[in-house]
Amino acid sequence: MAQQATHSNASLTRQGQSNAAGDARALYLKLFSGEMFKGFQHNAIARDLVMKRTLKNGKSLQFVYTGHTKAEYHVPGQSILGNSDGSPPVAEKTITVDDLLISSAFVYELDETLAHYELRGEISKKIGYALAQKYDRLIFRQIAKGARQASPITKSGFVEPGGTQVRVGTNNQASDAYVAASLVNAFYDAAAALDEKGVSSEGRVGVLNPRQYYELIQQVGDNGLVNRDEQGTSRQKGNGIVEIAGIKIYKSMNIPFFGSYGTKYGSASATNPGVTSPGNTGSFVAETAEDARASVTGINGNYGNATDFANSCGLIFQKEGAGVVEAIGPQVQVTSGDVSVVYQGDVILGRLAMGADFLNPAACVELVAGAAAGSSGNAAFGTTYPANA
């Protein structure tokens, strides 16, 4: 009689299990987290261009600003107990964290089952994009704010340098913002101003909107201002390859731009560069810059109102120009257990808690067009420009 074959239980490989033990979905959560962080990091450029600090056990963080001092000749017989004028003067700047910033989505389990693509990965990237967009917009607005401020040092007899506004072109039309030659001149003017105000040349960057950037690289490429080793696709990406006067240039849709973000369409005027919309841009492009003063729910600082940026068209700054404080860095939370059973799906949440502000106004330069520097449309935030020499 033939011997009956014996069958053991199949060895099931659980792709979401860590080391073949524990929660069968543990690695799926980490995959989602990675997608969210990737989406955030690929879109948040301001985070690495300014001073970043992590905050624990508090609502705000203090930054100390030290002014300049001078050299004196020693008088024989006199004690050396510090400069006679009490320099260097010191001031503080406190950055307060805003309320929790979140972006979330509910993923229905049946939709995941029926979808022919990896649903959570796509959603996670969009959540990362949303957080990065808000993160950059707040920092860039504070840099524009810093460009209009006097120094935090107010000691009697000491005048420290403050922020700078540079006009692009000489006409009263916002369209000057897209004239490559005028942009080049503005960058050299900004570099000279930063030098004159004693700002370090290390870590200087400029941020323009995409159309400005593409106009500019055509100009700088034709005039040999781009390193020949960085030609081709490298300079098209807008990741700081192009330099003018030692200023690395980035492109972003999140800078304040004529009262909007990144771009503005419509008829040419003093506050509109007159670019024709390509059509079908969606509701997330060319958004009007929202009001973001302390009176707005969730805002604990002052990021200005839309009207404060009526003629703003670019930023040039050095790393010390602004700071960002993170109480909660970009994180991911996902429901599970009984909650998932009750709702037959999961809530996927990306969150962070941050605050930003200018630190050293002398390291901030705002490009303006369509109006003279310091005109009523740009002298916002309670400081009259140009009392920042």
**What tens digit of pLDDT does each residue of 312-348 get?**
999 999 999 999 999 998 888 888 888 888 888 888 8
Q: Is pLDDT larger for residue 382 or for residue 214?
A: 214
Mean pLDDT over 366-383 rounds to 72
Q: What are phi and psi of 378, to 5 degrees?
A: -125, -5
Q: How many CB atoms lie within 10 A of CB 252?
A: 23
Q: Which helix (H) or strand (E) holds 351?
A: strand 345-358
pLDDT, residue 386, reads 39
pTM: 0.82
Q: How many CB atoms lie within 10 A of CB 276?
A: 8
Contact 258, 313 (CB under 8 A): yes
Q: What is the mean pLDDT of the chain?
A: 81
Q: What are phi and psi of 6, to 5 degrees?
A: -105, 140
Each residue's pLDDT tens digit, 259-289: 999 889 999 999 999 999 888 887 766 566 6
Alpha-carbon span 197 to 317, nearest angstrom: 12
Each residue's pLDDT tens digit, 73-126: 888 988 887 777 777 777 788 899 999 999 988 888 887 777 666 777 788 888
Half-sphere exposure of 328 (CA within 13 A, CB side): 13
Q: What percent of the chain has pLDDT over 70?
A: 80
Amino acid at 148: R
pLDDT, residue 269, reads 93
Residue 234 has pLDDT above 70, yes or no: no
pLDDT, residue 144, reads 96
Contact 163, 146 (CB under 8 A): yes
Domains of the chain: residue spans and CATH = 26-65+98-279+287-368 (3.90.1690)
